[in-house]
Chains A and B, each alone.
Chain A
Amino acid sequence: MMSINIVIRFDNFLVKKYLLWFLFCYLNSGIIQAEPIRLATTTSTDNSGLLREIIPHFEQKTGNVVHVLSVATGHALRLGQDGNVDVVLVHAPNAEMHWVEAGYGVNRRSVMVNDFVILGPENDPAGIRRERNAVKTLQKIARGKHIFVSRGDDSGTHKKEMALWEKTRMKPSVTWYRETGQGMGRVLQMADELNAYTISDRGTWLVLRSKLSLKLLFEGDPELHNPYSIIAVNPSRYPGINYMGAMSLIAWLTSVDGQNQIRKFKLDGQSLFFPSAILD
């Protein structure tokens, strides 16, 4: 009988605990909190530390909470298209245009620019250091069958790379072309390990530079321009979406304050992104 009494108390305790936990989970699910703004963005803006630096300014100013999902550009656009996020910050102008035309997004604004760089081993077996043209650079790498590591993940960087290959009129072959499906940081590490060539956005390169033996071999061709835009997900497709939040983030990022925060963000004294929303 003794043990049965213990069980009764144990049982009541458990039932109460169970209900309390349930209530707790329910409260945590965000029904009572203000609706967060879901921002899908590229790994380059998040991994570089830019968003971590500037988003708190926005949150403080407006009282909004931003949930940042950092994925490849293609994935980010897809998340917006499916209504799983409220706003996207991406870098693939052609894909963005198609996306807006298809009615998935509205109010596209350019936010900032940086550029792509081509990296490779110090001894530069393809001899691209002296080259002045991005397309010719890739042609040299392809002709020499030097190993080239590609993102292969439908990211903005990957889209840029594919556009450049298109212009070379050469077909990358599996004997030297490594398609990885990984993020920029991982690809830089792989290129480093494989003594290979690769293309990267300047931000990620600057962040990882000190940990790699890769060298910056090619830069400066206007072809390698890398503009970032922010686009709100079309609210008529998904009525429940946090459109007002999305628009306030767009407003802030393209405001004098937001643009100044982007300009002020530096790594080792070097600017990573240059604001482009407001013309002087």
Chain B
Amino acid sequence: MNGLLLTTQQALQLLFTGDPELWSIVLLSFSVSLKAILLTTPFAFLVSFALSHGKFPGIRIILAIFNSLLSVPTVVIGLFLYVLLTRQGPFGDLRLLFTQTAMIIGQMILCFPTLVALGYAAIQAADRRVWETARTLGAPPWFSMLTVFFEVRFALLAAVLTGFGRIISEIGISMMIGGNIMGYTRNITTAIAMETSKGEFAQGIALGLVLLLLSFLLTALLSYLQGHKEFAA
């Protein structure tokens, strides 16, 4: 019990004294996951929009696929990318294995189905007349689409936050294709795994606290946005 208290105390000390190594890991985690989510979002919502407003065969099947992809294990994505990116794999010449770029790509793949599925739900909930009105007023399709997005912006933002929560807390992809290289691909989750294996529990707990705090903030922001939306409607 004493050990637990002591470790937690050390963890808090690390956090508040601004231990440079710890904070550089946190920063790296955020930088990678932010890039991943920002690069994925526009494309994912475009797909959501096509699925909700388009008329083509197989929409239901595509939706079912995206919904089932929501729960794909991260290690499977990691393994899949490893096989593609290894030197002898089809994309080996790009030399992307064990780089931040590879981590970003992996996380993009991970959050894509989440963004599409939640984005679809959000856009479905929008009033159809927004699209029709914009079109009748002479707006081009892409512009009318942005108008629809603007109408459901809070629900879309909620989708983005959920996707971000999923990728910043994943470890399978980061460990397998990032490789936990200090100062380059070591992020919060891989650092926790490594510190634990070294018996450095304080460092692990400190990083865990950062993740916990983040998930708390995201949840708070989500419920705030949901409240906001009801208020607006």
Chain A contact residues, CB within 8 Å of chain B: 3-4, 6-8, 10-11, 14, 17-18, 21-22, 24-25, 28-30, 36, 38, 43, 47, 52, 67-70, 82-85, 182-183, 185-186, 188-189, 207-208, 211-212, 238, 240
Fill in one digit per residue for B98-110: 1 if any A CB lies within 8 Å of its CB, else 0.
1111001000000
A-B contact pairs, 5 of them (CB 8 A): A29-B99, A36-B184, A82-B88, A85-B98, A185-B198
Neighbouring A residues of B42 by C-beta, 8 Å? 14, 18
Closest-CB distance, A184 to chain B (whole angstroms): 8
Cα-based distance from A69 to B92 in the complex (angstroms): 18
Using a Cβ–Cβ cut-off of 8 Å, how many residues does chain B contribute to the interface with A? 32
The reply to whether A21 and B38 contact each other, CB–CB distance below 8 Å, is yes
The reply to whether A10 and B150 contact each other, CB–CB distance below 8 Å, is yes
The reply to whether A18 and B181 contact each other, CB–CB distance below 8 Å, is no
B95 within 8 A of partner (CB):
yes
Closest-CB distance, B79 to chain A (whole angstroms): 14
Neighbouring B residues of A28 by C-beta, 8 Å? 100-101
Closest-CB distance, A64 to chain B (whole angstroms): 14
The reply to whether A83 and B88 contact each other, CB–CB distance below 8 Å, is yes
The reply to whether A6 and B38 contact each other, CB–CB distance below 8 Å, is no
The reply to whether B38 and A17 contact each other, CB–CB distance below 8 Å, is yes
Task: Give which listed residue, A6, A25, A68, A186, contacts B182 with CB less than 8 A.
Answer: A68
The reply to whether A186 and B104 contact each other, CB–CB distance below 8 Å, is no
Cα-based distance from A64 to B181 in the complex (angstroms): 16
The reply to whether A84 and B199 contact each other, CB–CB distance below 8 Å, is no
The reply to whether A7 and B197 contact each other, CB–CB distance below 8 Å, is no
A interface, over-half SS: helix
The reply to whether A25 and B146 contact each other, CB–CB distance below 8 Å, is no
B215 within 8 A of partner (CB):
no
In the complex, the number of residue pairs spanning A and B with C-beta atoms less than 8 Å apart equals 83
Closest-CB distance, A79 to chain B (whole angstroms): 9
The reply to whether A25 and B99 contact each other, CB–CB distance below 8 Å, is no
The reply to whether A3 and B150 contact each other, CB–CB distance below 8 Å, is yes
The reply to whether B198 and A208 contact each other, CB–CB distance below 8 Å, is yes
Task: Give which listed residue, A22, A83, A186, A211, contacts B92 with CB less than 8 A.
Answer: A83
Name the interface residues of B65-116: CB closer than 8 Å to any CB of A. 86-88, 92-93, 95-101, 104
The reply to whether B143 and A69 contact each other, CB–CB distance below 8 Å, is no
The reply to whether B198 and A52 contact each other, CB–CB distance below 8 Å, is no
Measured CB to CB, the nearest residue on chain A to B181 is A67
Closest-CB distance, A268 to chain B (whole angstroms): 15
Task: Give which listed residue, B38, B98, B101, B146, contacts A69 with CB less than 8 A.
Answer: B98
B179 within 8 A of partner (CB):
yes
Further 17 A-B residue pairs, CB within 8 A, beyond A10-B146, A29-B96, A84-B98: A3-B150, A7-B147, A17-B38, A18-B38, A18-B42, A29-B99, A29-B100, A52-B182, A69-B181, A70-B180, A83-B87, A83-B92, A185-B197, A189-B197, A189-B199, A207-B198, A211-B199
The reply to whether B150 and A38 contact each other, CB–CB distance below 8 Å, is no
Chain B contact residues, CB within 8 Å of chain A: 35, 38-39, 42, 86-88, 92-93, 95-101, 104, 134, 139, 143, 146-147, 150, 179-182, 184, 196-199
A186-B38 contact, Cβ under 8 Å, with A69-B180, A240-B95: no
Measured CB to CB, the nearest residue on chain A to B93 is A240
Q: Which of A4, A18, A189 has the most CB of B within 10 A?
A: A4
Closest-CB distance, A18 to chain B (whole angstroms): 6
Cα-based distance from A208 to B150 in the complex (angstroms): 56
The reply to whether B86 and A82 contact each other, CB–CB distance below 8 Å, is yes
The reply to whether A24 and B147 contact each other, CB–CB distance below 8 Å, is no
Neighbouring B residues of A21 by C-beta, 8 Å? 35, 38-39
Going nearest first, the 7 A-B pairs with the smallest beta carbon separation are: A83-B87, A29-B101, A185-B197, A186-B197, A211-B199, A185-B198, A69-B179
Closest-CB distance, A186 to chain B (whole angstroms): 4
Cα-based distance from A207 to B197 in the complex (angstroms): 12
The reply to whether A4 and B147 contact each other, CB–CB distance below 8 Å, is yes
